[in-house]
Amino acid sequence: MYKILFFLKKEHDDSVLDHFKNVTLKLLSDIAGTEIRLGKIESNLLSEVKYSHYCEIIARSKEEMDRLMNTKAGKELNKDLMEFHNFITTYSIDYSN
């Protein structure tokens, strides 16, 4: 299993959250082929960087995720994330080992 985790930093205005909900989540859903839901982070006391929201996409393997991220929606997502990378942190997790 392979996941990409998306954390939205707390220091943002409503337009960033609106964009994430209306554009980024739609692209993630298109990539995953299923609805991606946004979770609200209730607490992250041990983290220096504070986050407000979280979501993830899952694939069976890194190779499958690479294929998904090279689709039209995946390329649009990468372009979209570059527009507001200061407001987001991503982690890629490989569970195959």
Query: Where residue 39 sits, what CATH number does that domain have?
Result: 3.30.70.100
User: What SS3 state is found at 33?
Assistant: coil
Instruction: Note down pLDDT in tens along the chain; length 97 residues.
Output: 999 999 999 877 788 999 999 999 999 999 999 999 999 999 888 888 899 999 999 999 999 999 999 999 999 999 999 988 889 999 999 998 7
CB atoms within 10 A of CB 72: 10
List pLDDT tens digits, range 50-69. 999 999 999 999 999 999 99
Number of domains in the chain: 1
Rounded to two decimals, the pTM is: 0.90
The boundaries of the domain holding residue 28 are 2-94
